[in-house]
Structure 1
């Protein structure tokens, strides 16, 4: 807009300003915004637009021009015949110019000028010449390219005016990636992540109308997930049913019914390259010459791009092709797909994309030979199952429809259920599971039944259907028909309900029955091992990813990554970073393939705070379908520690609330995280209550995992209030935990508590040695802070902790540590940097919505001190309110 406003009304520039851009670029929106801005500046404006029938439609007119409301032009009389009569064109333009000049620096805004007829074009050319050198501007918005009557005449007139220096062109471009990100943030009121921005930018090419259609589609398909102020792309698969692309299809319909029909067919057939004209002729039942003419119209309108002399075709805006495909009716889709498949099978056409044939076979259904069609679909589905399960599911569904008998149908549908499960299609997975169990029980092996029941359990959990999980746990069917749940699905339901003691007991009692099938053995051993390890009954977690040496079946192999996830979560929940990395190496599974919760825990333990927090937000934004995600609660606790250390308590609370709503296993760890927030806010009674609640829940489930963190924080609270009896009890309890789980994080906390409770310097030194061996920056820094700050180590170590917290962006921890460093006469590096950091932390706490009293409690200072620091900050930055300060900080515009 600024570029256009800069050239309007300048006598030294041409009075005719042509705004160009493709359909959907936002020309109309721009003219509306410019008119409002000009009106606010006191400029007189008249607005009009032309329709595809070349009718001039008056828009906004000031009262002084009301006499011209019935004219084809808003400020002139009739112009019919102006092209053939230059004198009429001249005098009409002269009258318009006089009216505009009398209005003092008026502006005429013309939208959709591509629909002007030859008479209007003649008048416009004369008007541009009459207004040359004046302060009056005529702004014409023109779609390019466009199919319009007299388009050649319009282009010729513009060439003449450009030759004479009488036209200025403003070309609107598509939004850049950063501009797409800003638009998404405005639409969603959440910060979009990179994958969402990339998907929308790639599909829309930055065209605003396509961008809005893309977001509407993602919303309708549930592909956008929101969490803690951020928006994430969950799935980008195109929907099976029709989805409206209102803005894109409206622009396409303007081309007329013939072009609309051709465009829909081209959307299906264009990947077939040089065969397109011939196949389009077959599809439309016309000659190849007529088909080529329709293709030419689409090219001229900018809808279709021709490359390599017609051997390749593409839609410049990919979402246009998506919109056209979504507009196809069932018969149209089948008819066009049959043409494509027949051409490919006969060799009459070729396509480099192997997925294209599978897509068209799936759409054609029984209009093509079922045997080769089914074989192709199954082969492509197997290739796509691991990394594109939603696509594989669509092909498998089509293959099942082409099955020869019930046995083949059951086999294919079993794979379809697995693909739907991996893709996160909860409803489809449950419906297909129920159908198989109820209607094809004789065609399913015992192992297949166990796989289906396990996937149903995980899916019920992902949907938050805890009532059904309870029925399954009690050996009641989740559907009226079908076999009752086996012991492993029941135990899995119990664990997802956080009833670990019952799950372990059930698996122990029924071991002989569930070890007989492959799926049950794998998941039963895994679940039993986790329950034993987390309860302290087994000192080591020994992953068993396959029963014996037999290769995994086709059903179980895609679920293998879930077993790795579960074992990794078992180790990560105890803080065992090296054990987790060894597991991934031995299993030949890259860390990137873990659940987001596992990746977040690994990042946090390595000290990559930003990555850990981002992965944590992404995790809570998506349903925990994959294996129930036992690492979610440990991840939320770890990420909460980082967020609190950074002073971001609101973010921490939002993530905990989102995570708790999913009912994750090991939920007592969330109580520990809540206690940490209360402790930070100076609420020791609330923090103590939460910790006791967490410890009681762990005891009820016979779990020790995470209790080391609870006892450690309870010790800190007890010592702060002088409660030596409770601190002594904490020491006894943590020793019990460390004896049962000696190689993990519990050992470091046992030494830490012993040192702080008894003053044992040997324990303090042993604690520091152990945390350094474990090599987790946050754990090292916190241990140094508590030990050296309490006089149990060299105060010079506080400098090391200060630097470690700096690498974690832990502003609040560094603020606390500066108090300790002053108390122990340890120099604080960088006075200027310290002042800037203090201001940044203060601004961050204000943006968190905390009161002066709460900020004072967090910074361990007085309310009066906070008030004075805020006053000085406002004076230095020129900001006048807490809201302005928060906006500046959140918008990365905080004055340095």
Structure 2
């Protein structure tokens, strides 16, 4: 490869250049894209970025680079990009970015609020001409910048924006995994030899030249730099060839740097230590160091660095070579100067970091400054950066007790940032100090929470319970929260937990709460759930209803604290068979989570709302929410919530898909020690097999699902158990399951509960008694939102009427069942109704909803929201898309539905045009 005019003309890279040319052509045609250039150090990634910049004359270019020494500073990479769009940032639409960068005060933004603001900023910047963002050395981006840019990259569609990352092998930020890639490899032999021949001017044996090509593996930078830096004798003999290319190339750069004047070397080190590339800051630091302007002339003439309005090293390896080769004393000297040159008001965090890098030993003043910087970082949503700043603050703290306290705070922040392993290491440091009992209790609680995150579900409940008891003894206000965590962990561990884990946690929580009357929703919830497992279901119903009422009242408060616990009321609503409360809490919880952008809560809120739609027979809407929940969980690096997809597949009767989901669910439940998830998987199996008419298999699954009283799922499992046992001639088991179901449903007393009870009892009754029970079930369920269970009652009643030889009556019930179940997409149950109808001589046509429609899940979701009157901007805020992408999807919707405006969108038509399996 020949590089001329600063790498703008590339030879030997025809394929790579064609890919980049297509990217530019697509961008000009209005198609956004993201691309990761992946390859080893020196392979030519930066040269390809230069090529792209040089061949994109009609596009706006913004460049940034990850810096190894700055990986712990939150939003550093984003800030490099956004300073190039600075005039736009005061716009209120970008408040999250302004707050994240410390430009304005405001509520700490969720990192995905920052992502959406970044997406919209890039989209608006590209309004007048396409925008290409080039991010070099992406493996060294700070974590929150990498997460945000990956979030944006996955949502680019119609914005005329391209994000191109260059990343070194084998480094791999997890956030960029899955984006389109262009792997950059070494040059072919002919191109590599041609490039080497332009570099070597001495008389060198052909075999030595070939060895250079072979051992550098066609690495362009190695072919250019190494011959220049090796002595002629060494070069001619072929000695000194690279073992590790990056280190060897850096060593070559150092051989060029070492002869430079001392002031020039110090200027280069100062520039390497300050990666923002702010020339004015560099000059202020240089003045403090006594460096004159002539040092810059020498640095630029050495072809190592460009110093203009912004500072840029000719290759990222030069920066790392300069910094790594400097002595620790020189590194501290330039950091000290940079700290002094950094404005303490405008950029206090970077100043604090430079001061920390300049400090040897212990220094409380610097530690306190880092502590304050961590607080500001956390207020901007930079949790990962706050954790690093707190960790360094702990290391610099002279007082052992204060050091231990900061280490504990750092460990907790590391855990909140999604780094449980790093948090665990910090706990060891926190335990070394002369700490008091309260500190040790908080240590124990955090250790238990980390173990939960590590998947130790079986041990989590007892560990949290022990921590809760210690905190209660010390009168710490976090004790009640810890009891609830312990009880929740025990409930989730369920049958896979230690002996009597739920009962032990419930008894301890009841004992701890007996001294005071619960008042708030969470206190009432803890009291009610604990009573559920100590005194039994019926005794706990009044307390649970009180807690549920408190949750519904608090749902109207609408603040950020509410949304973090509002969703906890949904399992209680299910436990009480209260479809009104479930509908209200799930809807309000989702509304608050969306409005506040609380991404940690949103996947769960979406899943609960999907459950409401599922039981209402609105499988298309449920499917869309399940897909969104899984997409956000993946984007945030969390495990997906399997409940929605698993139950949807079971209700649809998609045997292969359902069994695959169930198998995965069982495996993951066992691995994590979550017995409640195992019960869910067995419940889904029972629903699937009852729908398919495989009653023996349904009986086995329902029997297993009902073996443990899991919160929320147990009552549903009993209903499946009764049906499967009744149809399998296992009457004794059916009667036993019905008795358990009766105890709970009568205590709950809702139409949903009593409707299910009446239908289940009808399965074991005969004659007029059975008919009366079926009719009661239909009447009660018709007054609820639980449409799928109403349809199943029509099905069972119709099957009973046919066996009673009441053809006309059976026809009516089976037709109602078939149409309702088919409309919902519960095709296995619908097939049961169709088969019964066929048995009495009536045929049914192919149901339209079961076939593939024309709208994708995303198009249907956007169409639904547009039909409610939301603007593109409002839809984008809900779905984390730019308004441009929303508009692009809507234009496709309009075309497919043959409409021309939002006013013509009909929800019924949208649902009919959406495939049942969407999402």
TM-score under structure 2 length normalisation: 0.52
- Partner of 1:441, secondary structure, is coil
Please say if 1:737 is aligned against 2:744.
yes
Rounded Cα–Cα distance in structure 1 between residues aligned with 2:378 and 2:49: 45
Residues 391 and 576 of structure 1: CA distance in aligned 2, closer, same or farther (over 3 Å): farther
How many residues are aligned here? 625
- Return 661-670 or 16-25, whichever deviates more: 16-25
Which structure 2 residues correspond to residues 1-150 of structure 1 after superposition, within 5 A? 27=13, 30=16, 144=51
For 2:446, the equivalent position in structure 1 comes to: 455
After superposition, the Cα gap between the structure-2 partners of 1:704 and 1:514, relative to the gap in structure 1 and judged at 3 Å, is: closer
Q: Which residue of 1 aligns with 2:338?
A: 340
SS of 2:674's equivalent?
A: coil
For 1:49, the equivalent position in structure 2 comes to: none
2:657 aligned residue: 648
1:288 aligns with 2:293: yes
Which ranges of structure 1 fall in alignment gaps of 5 or more residues?
Answer: 1-15, 34-51, 54-110, 116-140, 148-173, 178-192, 231-245, 548-556, 626-630, 841-891
Please give the per-residue CA displacement for 1:587-631, whole angstroms capped at 9, x wherever unaligned.
995366426344322223234213315535876999989xxxxx9
- Distance in 2 (alpha carbons) for counterparts of 1:320 and 1:296: 15
Q: Considering only aligned residues, what root-mean-square deviation do their CA atoms show, in Å? A: 6.5
| Superposed displacement of residue 732, structure 1 | 2.9
C-alpha separation between the residues in 2 aligned to 1:508 and 1:142?
63
Q: Against the structure 1 CA distance between its residues 652 and 366, is the aligned structure 2 distance closer, same or farther, given a 3 Å change threshold?
A: same
The residue that corresponds to 1:98 in the other structure is none
Superposed CA deviations along residues 306-347 of structure 1, whole A, max 9, x for unmatched, are 9xx82x668999999999999999777755543332212468
Q: Which residue of 1 aligns with 2:392?
A: 398
Aligned equivalents of 1:588 and 1:469: distance in 2? 31
**Is 1:695–2:681 an aligned residue pair?**
no
Give deviations 1:235-292, integer Å, cap 9, x for gaps: xxxxxxxxxxx99999999877668988885465243634144157479985434436
Secondary structure, in 3 states, of the residue corresponding to 1:596?
A: helix
Q: Are the structure 2 counterparts of residues 22 and 406 from structure 1 closer, same or farther at C-alpha, using a change threshold of 3 Å?
A: farther
Match of 2:623 in 1: 609
Match of 2:757 in 1: 750
Relative to structure 1, the CA distance from residue 773 to residue 544 in structure 2 (aligned partners, 3 Å threshold; closer, same or farther) is closer
Alignment of 1:404-443 (within 5 A): 405-437=399-431, 439-442=433-436
* Secondary structure of 1:439's aligned partner: coil
Secondary structure of the corresponding residue to residue 173 of structure 2: helix
- Structure 1 range deviating more: 406-415 or 762-771: 762-771
Q: Residues 718 and 775 from structure 1, CA distance in 2 versus in 1: closer, same or farther, beyond 3 angstroms?
A: same
What is the aligned partner in structure 1 of residue 528 from structure 2?
Answer: 529
Structure label with greater radius of gyration:
1
Question: Post-superposition shift, 1:773?
Answer: 5.1
Q: Tell me how far apart the structure 2 counterparts of residues 407 and 276 of structure 1 sit (CA, whole Å).
A: 37
* TM, length-normalised to structure 1: 0.53
Contact persistence 1:780–1:801 (CA under 8 A): no
For the residues of structure 1 that align with 2:271 and 2:790, how far apart are their CA atoms? Answer: 62
Structure number with higher relative contact order (C-alpha < 8 Å, ≥ 6 residues apart): 2
For residue 508 of structure 1, what is the aligned residue in structure 2? 507
Q: Deviations over 1:407-432 (max 9, x none)?
A: 43344334323212322322333344
Structure 1 position 657 matched with structure 2 position 672: no
- Distance in structure 2 (CA, Å) of the matches to 1:790 and 1:330: 86
Describe the superposition over 1:555-590 as per-residue Cα deviations: whole angstroms up to 9, x where unpaired: xx9998765454444445666564356558599953
Q: Which residue of 2 aligns with 1:801?
A: 820
Kept in 2, the 8 Å contact 1:633–1:664? The answer is no
Aligned in 2, Cα 1:476/1:581: closer, same or farther, shift over 3 Å? Answer: closer
Residues in 1 aligned to 2:324 and 2:692: alpha-carbon distance in whole angstroms: 53
2:227 paired with 1:217: no
Offset at 1:674? 3.9
- Corresponding residue of 1:866: none
SS in 2 for 1:393: helix
Change (3 A) 1:829 1:493: closer
**Aligned residue in 2 for 1:198:** 154
Moved more, 495-504 or 745-754: 495-504
**CA distance in 2 between partners of 1:637 and 1:275 (Å):** 58
Closer, same or farther: CA 22–408 of 1 in aligned 2, 3 Å: farther
- Are residues 665 and 142 of structure 1, via their aligned partners in 2, closer, same or farther at CA, if it must alter by over 3 Å? closer
Structure 1 residues 533 and 567, CA, compared in 2 at 3 Å: closer, same or farther?
A: farther
Secondary structure (helix, strand or coil) at the match of 1:420 reads helix
State the alpha-carbon separation in 2 of the partners of residues 613 and 546 from structure 1. Answer: 31
Provide closer, same or farther for how the CA distance between residues 786 and 263 of structure 1 changes in structure 2, counting only shifts above 3 A.
farther
Structure 1 residues 18 and 794, CA gap change in structure 2 (3 angstroms): farther
CA–CA distance in structure 2, aligned partners of residues 763 and 206 of structure 1: 63
In the TM superposition, residue 738 of structure 1 has moved relative to its aligned partner by: 0.8
- For residue 610 of structure 2, give the secondary structure of its aligned residue in structure 1: helix
Q: Is the CA contact 1:400–1:413 (under 8 Å) kept in the aligned structure 2?
A: yes
Question: CA shift at 1:508, angstroms?
Answer: 3.2
Contact persistence 1:704–1:737 (CA under 8 A): no
Distance 2:3 2:407 in 1: 61
C-alpha distance in 2 between matches for 1:196 and 1:567? 33
User: Is contact 1:669–1:706 with CA below 8 Å preserved after alignment?
Assistant: yes
Q: Secondary structure at the match of 2:708?
A: helix
8 Å CA contact retained: 2:686, 2:701: yes
What secondary structure, in the 3-state scheme, does the structure 2 residue paired with 1:412 have? helix
Shift of 1:507: 4.6
Within a 5 Å distance, the mapping from 1:168-247 to structure 2 comes to: 195=151, 198=154, 207=164, 210-211=166-167, 213=169, 216-219=171-174
Q: Which runs of 5+ in 2 are unaligned?
A: 20-40, 55-129, 134-148, 181-243, 259-264, 552-558, 614-620, 802-809, 857-914
1:855 is aligned to none
Q: Residues 618-657 of structure 1 correspond to what in structure 2 (within 5 A)?
A: 638=647, 641=650, 644-645=653-654, 648-649=657-658, 650-657=660-667
Q: Distance in 2 between matches of 1:198 and 1:620?
A: 11
Partner of 1:271: helix, strand, or coil?
Answer: coil
Structure-2 change in CA distance of 1:619 and 1:145 (3 Å): closer
d(CA) in 2 for partners of 1:765, 1:277: 83
Cα separation, 1, equivalents of 2:580 and 2:316? 46
* Contact 1:714 1:727 survives alignment (8 Å): yes
3-state SS of 2:274 partner = helix
| Residues 656 and 670, structure 1, Cα contact 8 Å, conserved in 2 | yes
Q: Is the 8 A contact 1:337 1:363 kept in 2?
A: yes
Q: Which moved more, 1:707-716 or 1:611-620?
A: 611-620
How far apart are the structure 2 equivalents of 1:377 and 1:358? 9
Q: Aligned partners of 1:288 and 1:427: how far apart in 2?
A: 47
Q: Secondary structure at the match of 1:608?
A: helix
Distance 1:324 1:280 in 2: 17
Q: Offset at 1:690?
A: 2.7
Trace 1:442-841 onto structure 2 (pairs within 5 A): 442=436, 446=438, 449-465=440-456, 469=460, 472=463, 488=483, 494-495=490-491, 497-498=493-494, 502-505=501-504, 507-508=506-507, 511=510, 526-533=525-532, 535-536=536-537, 537-539=539-541, 540-543=544-547, 563-564=565-566, 566-571=568-573, 578-580=580-582, 590=593, 593=598, 594=601, 596-606=603-613, 607-613=621-627, 615=629, 638=647, 641=650, 644-645=653-654, 648-649=657-658, 650-666=660-676, 667-676=678-687, 684-698=695-709, 705-724=712-731, 726-743=733-750, 746-758=753-765, 760=770, 763-764=773-774, 767-768=777-778, 771=781, 774-775=784-785, 786=796, 794-798=813-817, 800-802=819-821, 804-806=823-825, 819=835, 825=842, 827-828=844-845
